[in-house]
Amino acid sequence: MGYTTQAELITRYGEEMLRGLTDIGLPPSGEIDTEAVDRAIADADAMIDGYLRERYVVPMASPPPEISAISRAIAIWNLHTFEPGKKIETDYQGALAALKDISKGLIKLDAATVAPVVNAGTGARITDRERPLTEANMKGFI
């Protein structure tokens, strides 16, 4: 299941826009190309998962509303084969900025997080072994 749906894209951007972006066959069918919409949503979701993979369990089973909005903005931008309008471009840039902030931890999501990786070999080491150079075995050198 994706982070957004075709129905949500229609609600947000209108059926006419989706038809205009996806019905590019000759002659036009007059219908929304659901395969093109599904590809755009899948590409958007893959991009989102790439940004969130380090901090959150992906794919998210029940994504928070922020992720659905980001997915819509990226998916509609993906559907534009030519230069998108200013609003679409602004929303896309905002979605990318939000993804970067989420991946840096500046924006926290209400979702399952990945357990932090613990490196065992870091930090100072303390040992209790016997000292090889002592006053007793250094006689004659000191």
Give the tens place of pLDDT for each residue, 36-67.
999 999 999 999 999 998 888 888 888 889 99
Q: Which two tokens stand for residue 26?
A: 């000759």
Residue range 8-37: mean pLDDT, rounded: 91
| Alpha-helical regions (H) of the chain | 6-13, 15-22, 34-52, 65-79, 86-104
What sign has the CA pseudo-torsion 72, 74, 75, 81?
A: positive
At what angle are helices 34-52 and 65-79 packed, to 10 degrees? 130
pTM, full prediction = 0.76
- Report which residue type is found at 49: D
